Structure formats: C-alpha cells, structure tokens
Amino acid sequence: MPAEPTSHTPAGSDVVARGLDDAADQAPAPAAEHPSGGSPVQRRRRWHTPVALLWASHPRQAGVMAAALAVAALLAGRGLREIGVVAATALVGQVLLGWHNDVVDRERDRRHGVPRKPAATGDVDAETLWFAIILGALLLVPLAFTTGFEAGAYYLGYVLLGGLSNLALREGRFSWLLWAASFALLPSYLTWGGWGGGAVGDAPHVAITVLAGLLGIGVHIGRSVWGLAEDDEEDWSTYPLRIGRRHGANRVLGLAAGWIGLSTTAIAVVAGTVGLRAG
C-alpha cells in the first residue's frame, strides 16, 4: 500500500526534524553495530515467528480498513453474510500488503532503525514473509470472488496496485497516484458484489469513484507522516515530504486529517443523495 544510499540532507530538513520531535522521543535506543561495520542489527531475536508475522502485517491498519469496508457494505445494504465476507477479504488483503511493505522495506528500515519492524530486526526472515504472502494470496483469491467475479476482480486490483505502490513512484512527486487508483477501485468492489459468485450489482456512481480516489490520497499523506524523517534522509521528493520540509510534520498531519475528513463526508453526502450505484 511498496535503496537509500544517501547521507545528503536537503535544505529545510531541520523543519521536518522539529516537526518529528515526538517521534524521536519514542524511538528505541540505537541498535548494536554489526562487527563488520555494516548496518545496525539487533543483538538477539525478540519475538517468536507468529508474533513477528502478526506485527509485520500492520494489524492496526488492517483492522481499520476491514472495519471501514464492513461499515460501507452495511450502508450499501449488503446482507450480514456478505458484510462478513467483505470484512474478512479486506482484512486478509491488508495483511498481505503489510507483509509486502515490510519485506520490501526491510533494508531501509534497518538502516534507519525504524522501531517495531520484525523484518528489519531479524525477528522474521524474508523467506518466511514471502511464504506467508503466497499462502495469504491463496486464501484471498477465493474470498474476493465469493461475492462475485466482478467484485473480486476489482478488489484484487486494489491489492495489486497497493503492492505496486510499495515498489514504484513512491520516491517522487507522483507517490500519491497509485494510492488514488487503488482506492478508486473499492466502490466497484462494493457495488458489484453479490452472493455466490454471480454478478448481481452495478457500476458505482462516477462521483463516488472519484471521491474514493481522493480519499486514497489523504490516506497516503497520513501514512507518510511517520516516515518523513527517513524519507528526508533519502532525499525523496514526495508531496507530503515537500510540505513537511516547509511547514513541519504537524502541518502534514493536519492536512491529512482534513483531507480524509472532507473526502469521507463528501462520499457520505453523495451516496445519500444519488446513491452508490450509477443510474
């Protein structure tokens, strides 16, 4: 929901640093240096593999997304069993994206000493994470298609774009693009859904699709806040980071909260006025 070799610090990074004082206060003590002089490493494993896998899944984000889609399905008039499948599908999809993000970012997280990252600390290795991702994908596909082929295809498209955002466009000015595209697919997952694998729904209203894409941009900005210092050290040029360099992390967080709030409100107003579905 995707190499950082530089030690160059761009002008204005002191503003980002000041904006991240709270994050710095919560950072763990520096990790031990590897005997060869390489990247910081942990002296010993802290978690057993199941716990490490759970934490690497970004469980809070997964839970929020599952609950949000379940509520959206409820408001769309879906039956209880469909709401349950929507929640389960969203939960598994977000867990996969969390694992993928951690396995892709493990070297970056290790270099920056990002806390609570089991892949970076060695509590779970990359091979185990990839194996878990494969097993999770085998579960996700039938779950997604349970409420319709069209609905499932749209949700799997959301997950694929989310995984691509861990790899592409994330360092530059268009880091928001894949987030917008992936979130724009979620209304189609809800409106096309039915029970038993048949296509019983309709396309979403175009305004709902556009607003969902805008919501995705807001979520991207909000998620970026906690990594602004690391992104700054990498000399990235994302939209949230450019704001952070000028005004500090608090301004970025405020922008994200306002953006998400306005997008969500607009979706609710439009859905209540014209409905979720086109026509």
**Token output for 124:** 């779970």
The answer to whether 216 and 264 have CB atoms below 8 angstroms apart is no
CA angle 176, 224, 163 (to 5 degrees): 55
Question: pTM value?
Answer: 0.81
133-171 pLDDT tens trace: 999 999 999 999 998 889 999 999 999 999 999 999 888
- To which residue do tokens 């000399």 refer? 235
**CA 34, 228, 122 angle in degrees (round to 5)?**
30
- pLDDT > 90: what percent of the chain? 52
Give me the pLDDT at residue 200, please.
Answer: 63
Average pLDDT for the chain: 83
Query: Could you state, in order of their start, the residue ranges of all structural domains in the chain?
Result: 45-146, 148-154+173-279
Residue 3, number of CB atoms within 10 A of its CB = 7
Could you tell me the pLDDT band of residue 196, with boundaries at 50, 70 and 90? low
Please provide the size of the chain in residues: 279
* pLDDT tens-digit series, residues 52-108: 999 999 999 999 999 999 999 988 888 889 999 999 999 999 999 999 999 999 999
Q: Token pair of 227, please?
A: 């990594």
Q: Is residue 208 left, alpha or beta, with left meaning phi > 0 and alpha meaning psi from -120 to 50?
A: alpha
